[in-house]
Chain A
Amino acid sequence: MNKPIRTMAMFCMLLFLGLLANVTYLQYVAAGDLNDASKHPENRRVIEAAFSRERGAILVGRNAIAESKESDDKYDFQRTYSNPFMYAHVTGWFSFYSQSGIENTQNSVLSGDDSRLFVSRLVDLVNNASPKGGTVELTLDPDAQKAAFDGLFQNPELGNDVQGAVVALEPSTGKILAMVSAPTFNPNKLASHDLESVEVEDKKLNDRADEPKLNRAISTTLPPGSTFKLVTAAAALETGDYDADSMVPGGPSYRLPGTNTSIGNGGRACGTDKISMTQALEQSCNTTFLALANELGQDKLRRQAEAFGFNDTSLEDLKGQAQSVFPTEEISDDFLAKSGIGQQDVRATPLQMAMVVSGIVNDGVVMRPYLVDEVRSPDLDVLDKTSTEELSEAVGSDSANELRKMMVAVVENGTAGVAAIPDAEVGAKTGTAENCSACNDYAWFVSYAKKDGKDVAVAVMLQKVQLSNAEIAGGKLAGPIAKSVMEAVID
């Protein structure tokens, strides 16, 4: 009987080898997949571990606006936001249930799983230390951010229920220097370890009609109104037939082609027949740009808008950027005319309008906007620095110069006088957009400032304030906010 016993011994050995091979596969080869929360969202171990992990900090300047602090409850670390309301839409929140903002898009770095952190992970493994996350340094300028935040929230004129957004860009690089959206929320409450209170708070935020979680700087598209006249002017200049002093159609009113509707200029001085393009922009003459839009045609206008970034997204560091829209399907001439003054079917995010100004300031080149400046190891060694990238050449350098001259004229002689800063070159354009007679008007203000080699482009959008429509005008309400942000950057 010994022969079959030996055979059985071999057979049993094979069984055990099979078990060993299978557990090796399971716990070594397949483990990575099983521990990947994106492939197995039901794997609570991974989620809980990620939640209690020491995440890297999010830095603005030298200050951590989000960091993990040791906690003595069920989870080892508590995510803490030091200036929660001001940075809420940028950092996002890190809750047990979800992440948003930079917490979401930079999760692999912050959690320490990123391949760029491999060495640091290895060191932690050897030292038997729990792995630490990398640090993300943002492009934000704390002073500009504070100016933008105070402008929206510390402004008695706007009231407490203001809805709006401010974006500031560095035109030469595309760095986002400020990004504030109102209303805001407290991400600390969503990051709490008290999961029940998180659910209550989350529901409360989601149920609010004014959508505090929404980042209006990148996710809300509204008619840009007169600020879009910059794009129409750019398209006209690019044809080569116009410069800042060219005479363009003016007059008190313009009858939309194919209709009996006429649009006037709200009493601003737009001449009787022909005026210079500079004057048209200074006085924000609707008649001029309605006519120009029809003269240029939909194709040229659309191409110009797309060259500035319309009909596409450009920001990679945050999720949820909405596409700004210039219609691609053929529209009637009256609609086209109204699109030329940023009404009708045109929609833009505040970020998009800031990009338009940036392109004009940066000799016509639009840079890709970005928020993450540097990725650092837990020991703060720089692992990666975002390199700037040209998104498009929106206009030629000559056209850009002409546009800048005209924008400066708007500040010096026109509707945007509030933005003037002594000793600095400041150009701006106001906008007040209406979408329907019964709704709120939106106040827009886009501007740039240059001084001592520093420059900044700003877009301010006020979606809803406590004032009546008659009192809402882009320059008066939004202008001072833009001015304080520009001052914070160039001074």
Chain B
Amino acid sequence: MTQQNSFLGFVHRRRRGAELFLLILALFVGIGAYAAVGLGVEGEVPADIIGYGGWLAALTIACHVVVRLTAPYADPVLLPVVAALNGLGLAVIHRLDLADGTTFARQQLVWMTIGVSLFALTLIFLRDHRVLQRFTYTSGLAAIVLLLMPMLPFIGVQKNGARIWINLGPVGMQPGEVAKVLLVVAFAGYLVLHRDALALAGRRLVFVDLPRGRDLGPILMMWLLSLCILVFQRDLGSSLLFFGIFLTMLYVATERPGWLVVGASMFLAGAFLGYKAFSHVQVRVDAWLHPFDDFYGSGNQIGESLFGMAWGGLLGRGFGQGSPSRIPFAESDFIMGAIGEELGLTGVMAVIVLYGLIVERGLRAALVCRDAFGKLMACGLACVLALQVFVVIGGVTRLIPLTGLTTPFLSYGGSSLVANWVIIALLLRISDQARRPVPDLSQDSDETSDAETTQVVSLR
């Protein structure tokens, strides 16, 4: 591949100017939505629009500068899309704040600042994503510890039926969101090493080569871990997400669809067991099938969300003209219901397409990436976003049973926002690596081959 590139002389353009232009458009979305919320709810542009807009612009431009300096060849579309989503999410949370008298938007802006800082730190200190391969088992262990933390007696907190929160003094966090990133790193590192063994076919059934029985260990372990999350933390969403992402990466690493067959059957078995054994799963499924049967009970959230989205119709009511605060937890899991009501089908479609762009740009980075670890990691990160978006938006719009996950970049929630900013940083890092021109080794070797026995290849 490297050979090919240099022969064809194809070099990716940096396109940093395009990124800046798109970022300015994204800022229009974020600040414009904030102003629209003020106009719609209170009839005037918010007094703090300069301060708010300035801060949002500063964060966005800071991201751009960091990318320009540390990852000049990175994909130019990812950052603007994320900035637009984050800005829109802030505006919608602010709109719900005005209705409910809460201050989630202010806190979310703080979280965004932290997220952007971590984004910058990741890009600055992680000059080569392959470094992460060293931490395969470390991050795997860290992920498991994080996932176990909510089960611990003092810091674990049960909220709304799911035990996925930990309480660290003044701040609460959802360790699952951070574990998501660590797990992708761990899977990528593990699978890169063991893909050959796992790719060995066992028995052939109809058209698929099924894996050998003795290779089932890792997938079985992941399956059990997911079931544990479902059972002990009552968190359908994360359980589905973790198993799904492992399965995806396993398939990509081994190129064997047989793993998908095995995994899908295990998933179905797990889902069936979960449905039979646990009332909280049954409640979710019932609320999915008949949201209006128990409208004032278990079906309230999904029912109000459906009413809200139907009320929004094609073009939406406009900010301040609907009643999105009727939906319980509209600022977190159900933010799409609020967007559907006030921005309509148009707004919802725009958001879904933006997510689609992130995912496909991420997969594109995976495609052009030169090393297997990078490919796997980029693919895993992109697919984790895709799955999460599908599971949460599908749940809110009653395509699938509701599972309870945050909507990346939109929902209120610090852990999720910070983790997703880091995911974007990693994707940018991989795409920068993938798109930057191959260092020209020929000239160097001519002049310095005698002087040095080892080549130093500058990455910058």
- The residues of A with any CB-CB pair to B shorter than 8 Å are 1-6, 8-9, 12-13, 15-16, 18-20, 22-24, 26-28, 30-35, 40, 42-46, 48-49
Q: B345 contacts which chain A residues (CB < 8 A)? A: 23-24, 27-28
Shortest Cβ distance from residue B92 to the other chain A in the assembled complex, whole angstroms: 16
- Of B82-90, B354-362, B436-444, the segment with at least 4 beta carbons within 8 Å of chain A is B354-362
Q: A45 contacts which chain B residues (CB < 8 A)? A: 307-308, 311, 322-323, 326
Q: A18 contacts which chain B residues (CB < 8 A)? A: 390, 394, 399
Q: B387 contacts which chain A residues (CB < 8 A)? A: 15
Q: A3 contacts which chain B residues (CB < 8 A)? A: 255
Question: Would you call B427 an interface residue if the criterion is a C-beta within 8 Å of the partner chain's C-beta atoms?
Answer: no
- 10 A/B residue pairs, CB under 8 Å, sorted by A: A8-B252, A9-B360, A19-B352, A23-B352, A26-B310, A27-B310, A28-B345, A31-B309, A34-B306, A42-B295
Let me know if B356 and A13 touch, CB within 8 A. Answer: yes
Partner of A4 from the list B251, B344, B359 (CB cut-off 8 Å) is B251
Let me know if A15 and B375 touch, CB within 8 A. Answer: no
Q: With A1-B376, A12-B360 in contact, is A27–B323 under 8 Å at CB?
A: no
Let me know if B390 and A16 touch, CB within 8 A. Answer: yes
Let me know if A15 and B348 touch, CB within 8 A. Answer: no
Q: A6 contacts which chain B residues (CB < 8 A)? A: 367
Q: How far is the CA of A8 from the CA of B292 in the complex (A)?
A: 36
Residue of B nearest to A31 (CB): B310
Q: Closest 8 A-B residue pairs measured CB to CB?
A: A34-B310, A31-B310, A27-B345, A12-B386, A22-B399, A4-B252, A16-B356, A15-B390
Let me know if A8 and B363 touch, CB within 8 A. Answer: yes
Q: A20 contacts which chain B residues (CB < 8 A)? A: 349, 352-353
Shortest Cβ distance from residue A346 to the other chain B in the assembled complex, whole angstroms: 47
Let me know if B310 and A19 touch, CB within 8 A. Answer: no
Question: Would you call B314 an interface residue if the criterion is a C-beta within 8 Å of the partner chain's C-beta atoms?
Answer: yes
Partner of A1 from the list B252, B310, B355 (CB cut-off 8 Å) is B252
Residue of A nearest to B311 (CB): A45
If A19-B397, A26-B309 are given as contacts, then 17 extra A-B residue pairs at C-beta distance below 8 Å, sorted by A number, are: A1-B252, A5-B375, A5-B379, A8-B251, A12-B382, A12-B383, A13-B356, A13-B360, A16-B389, A18-B399, A23-B393, A27-B309, A27-B310, A27-B314, A45-B323, A45-B326, A49-B311
Q: A26 contacts which chain B residues (CB < 8 A)? A: 306, 309-310, 340, 397-398
Q: B398 contacts which chain A residues (CB < 8 A)? A: 22, 26
Shortest Cβ distance from residue B111 to the other chain A in the assembled complex, whole angstroms: 26
Residue of B nearest to A30 (CB): B310
Let me know if B367 and A40 touch, CB within 8 A. Answer: no
Q: How far is the CA of A2 from the CA of B307 in the complex (A)?
A: 43
Shortest Cβ distance from residue A26 to the other chain B in the assembled complex, whole angstroms: 5
Let me know if B252 and A44 touch, CB within 8 A. Answer: no
Shortest Cβ distance from residue A36 to the other chain B in the assembled complex, whole angstroms: 10
Shortest Cβ distance from residue A52 to the other chain B in the assembled complex, whole angstroms: 11
Q: How far is the CA of A23 from the CA of B398 in the complex (A)?
A: 9
Let me know if B386 and A23 touch, CB within 8 A. Answer: no
Question: Would you call B313 an interface residue if the criterion is a C-beta within 8 Å of the partner chain's C-beta atoms?
Answer: yes
Shortest Cβ distance from residue B213 to the other chain A in the assembled complex, whole angstroms: 22
Q: A48 contacts which chain B residues (CB < 8 A)? A: 323
Q: How far is the CA of A210 from the CA of B161 in the complex (A)?
A: 52
Q: How far is the CA of A48 from the CA of B308 in the complex (A)?
A: 13
Let me know if A1 and B314 touch, CB within 8 A. Answer: no
Shortest Cβ distance from residue B352 to the other chain A in the assembled complex, whole angstroms: 5
Question: Would you call B248 an interface residue if the criterion is a C-beta within 8 Å of the partner chain's C-beta atoms?
Answer: yes
Q: With A12-B360, A19-B393, A34-B306 in contact, is A28–B375 under 8 Å at CB?
A: no
Shortest Cβ distance from residue B260 to the other chain A in the assembled complex, whole angstroms: 9
Let me know if A35 and B311 touch, CB within 8 A. Answer: yes
Q: How far is the CA of A444 from the CA of B156 in the complex (A)?
A: 79
Q: B372 contacts which chain A residues (CB < 8 A)? A: 1
Question: Would you call B35 an interface residue if the criterion is a C-beta within 8 Å of the partner chain's C-beta atoms?
Answer: no
Q: How far is the CA of A147 from the CA of B326 in the complex (A)?
A: 50
Question: Would you call B312 an interface residue if the criterion is a C-beta within 8 Å of the partner chain's C-beta atoms?
Answer: yes
Q: With A5-B379, A27-B309 in contact, is A12–B367 under 8 Å at CB?
A: no
Residue of B nearest to A24 (CB): B345
Question: Would you call B253 an interface residue if the criterion is a C-beta within 8 Å of the partner chain's C-beta atoms?
Answer: yes
Shortest Cβ distance from residue B145 to the other chain A in the assembled complex, whole angstroms: 29
Q: How far is the CA of A184 from the CA of B251 in the complex (A)?
A: 77
Q: B295 contacts which chain A residues (CB < 8 A)? A: 42
Question: Would you call B303 an interface residue if the criterion is a C-beta within 8 Å of the partner chain's C-beta atoms?
Answer: yes
Shortest Cβ distance from residue A20 to the other chain B in the assembled complex, whole angstroms: 6
Shortest Cβ distance from residue A287 to the other chain B in the assembled complex, whole angstroms: 65
Q: A30 contacts which chain B residues (CB < 8 A)? A: 310
Residue of A nearest to B394 (CB): A19
Interface residues of B in 214-249 (CB under 8 A from A): 248
Residue of A nearest to B364 (CB): A9
Q: A5 contacts which chain B residues (CB < 8 A)? A: 252, 363, 366-367, 375, 379
Q: A15 contacts which chain B residues (CB < 8 A)? A: 386-387, 390
Give B242-277 as 1s and 0s: 1 = Cβ < 8 Å from A's Cβ atoms: 000000100111010000000000000000000000
Q: How far is the CA of A30 from the CA of B376 in the complex (A)?
A: 40
Q: A27 contacts which chain B residues (CB < 8 A)? A: 309-310, 312-314, 340, 344-345, 348
Q: B367 contacts which chain A residues (CB < 8 A)? A: 2, 5-6, 9
Residue of B nearest to A45 (CB): B311
Let me know if A23 and B363 touch, CB within 8 A. Answer: no
Q: How far is the CA of A35 from the CA of B348 in the complex (A)?
A: 19
Q: How far is the CA of A5 from the CA of B251 in the complex (A)?
A: 9
Partner of B313 from the list A31, A40, A43, A49 (CB cut-off 8 Å) is A31
Let me know if A23 and B397 touch, CB within 8 A. Answer: yes
Q: How far is the CA of A35 from the CA of B253 in the complex (A)?
A: 48
Shortest Cβ distance from residue B263 to the other chain A in the assembled complex, whole angstroms: 13
Shortest Cβ distance from residue B243 to the other chain A in the assembled complex, whole angstroms: 16
Q: B359 contacts which chain A residues (CB < 8 A)? A: 12, 16
Q: How far is the CA of A271 from the CA of B308 in the complex (A)?
A: 78
Residue of B nearest to A16 (CB): B356
* Most chain B CB within a 10 A radius of its CB, from A3, A6, A12, A40: A12
Q: A33 contacts which chain B residues (CB < 8 A)? A: 310
Q: How far is the CA of A51 from the CA of B348 in the complex (A)?
A: 28
Q: How far is the CA of A62 from the CA of B136 in the complex (A)?
A: 84
Q: How far is the CA of A32 from the CA of B311 in the complex (A)?
A: 9
Q: How far is the CA of A77 from the CA of B429 in the complex (A)?
A: 57
Partner of A9 from the list B303, B310, B363 (CB cut-off 8 Å) is B363
Q: A1 contacts which chain B residues (CB < 8 A)? A: 252-253, 255, 372, 375-376, 379
Let me know if A4 and B397 touch, CB within 8 A. Answer: no
Partner of B314 from the list A4, A28, A46 (CB cut-off 8 Å) is A28
Q: A35 contacts which chain B residues (CB < 8 A)? A: 307, 310-311
Residue of B nearest to A35 (CB): B310
Q: How far is the CA of A13 from the CA of B362 in the complex (A)?
A: 13
Q: B307 contacts which chain A residues (CB < 8 A)? A: 34-35, 40, 43-46
Interface residues of B in 370-400 (CB under 8 A from A): 372, 375-376, 379, 382-383, 386-387, 389-390, 393-394, 397-399
Shortest Cβ distance from residue B89 to the other chain A in the assembled complex, whole angstroms: 17
Residue of A nearest to B372 (CB): A1
Let me know if A23 and B348 touch, CB within 8 A. Answer: yes
Q: How far is the CA of A22 from the CA of B382 in the complex (A)?
A: 22
Q: How far is the CA of A42 from the CA of B300 in the complex (A)?
A: 10
Residue of A nearest to B306 (CB): A34
Residue of B nearest to A32 (CB): B310
Q: B326 contacts which chain A residues (CB < 8 A)? A: 44-45
Q: How far is the CA of A429 from the CA of B352 in the complex (A)?
A: 76
Give B286-315 as 1s and 0s: 1 = Cβ < 8 Å from A's Cβ atoms: 000000100110000001001111111110
Q: How far is the CA of A1 from the CA of B371 in the complex (A)?
A: 10
Residue of A nearest to B378 (CB): A5
Q: How far is the CA of A5 from the CA of B248 in the complex (A)?
A: 9
Q: How far is the CA of A3 from the CA of B306 in the complex (A)?
A: 38
Let me know if B248 and A8 touch, CB within 8 A. Answer: yes
Q: A4 contacts which chain B residues (CB < 8 A)? A: 251-252, 255
Shortest Cβ distance from residue A7 to the other chain B in the assembled complex, whole angstroms: 8
Interface residues of B in 304-355 (CB under 8 A from A): 306-314, 322-323, 326, 340, 344-345, 348-349, 352-353, 355
Partner of A23 from the list B308, B309, B382 (CB cut-off 8 Å) is B309
